[in-house]
Amino acid sequence: MTDYQIDLESVPSTAVLRGVFRLATPEQYDALFAPLAERVGKAQAPFSVDLTGVVLMNSSGLRALADLVLAARRAGTALTFLGKADVPWQSKTVASLKPLYSGLSVKLS
């Protein structure tokens, strides 16, 4: 049963994530996020990750998001996380990643 989806094609320079992300290990997130990490690492233009359709994400997933931020920092890619203010893990934990990289924006609707 797959209850998550990553769409890299529908919106330009944006990865749209949907569903529930509760994979068991960091290595599983590495495999899932590899295409996303590659785009963040190579992006010439600002890149966004839309989390508004993500209901839940476990701590390994949040670590994977932090790894994306670190990849963007290494590449100098401006990165934006789009989330919802009324979803606690987004307004708290995702928003708290901002100090990792001055080029990271977190926009909560």
Partner 1 sequence: MTTRTSGVFEEGTAPPLTSPSIAMPAMDFVVQWNRCGITADYLADYLAYAFERRDVARSVITTAANELLENAAKFSSDKKAPVRIAARLRGDVLELEVENVADADHVDALTSVLDALSRGEASSLFASRIESPERGGLGLIILARDYDAQLGARIVSVNGGSLDKTFSVTVRASIAADEVEQR
Residues of this chain that interact with partner 1 (CB under 8 A) are 1, 3, 20, 22-24, 26, 55-56, 58-60, 62-63, 66, 70, 86-89, 92-93, 96-97, 99-100
As measured in angstroms, the least distance from the Cβ of 108 to partner 1 is 13
Any alpha helices (H) in the chain, and if so which ranges? 26-42, 59-75, 88-89
Comparison of 11 and 63: residue with beta carbon closer to partner 1 = 63
As measured in angstroms, the least distance from the Cβ of 103 to partner 1 is 16
Residues in the chain: 109
Distance CA 41, CA 74 (A): 8
As measured in angstroms, the least distance from the Cβ of 24 to partner 1 is 4
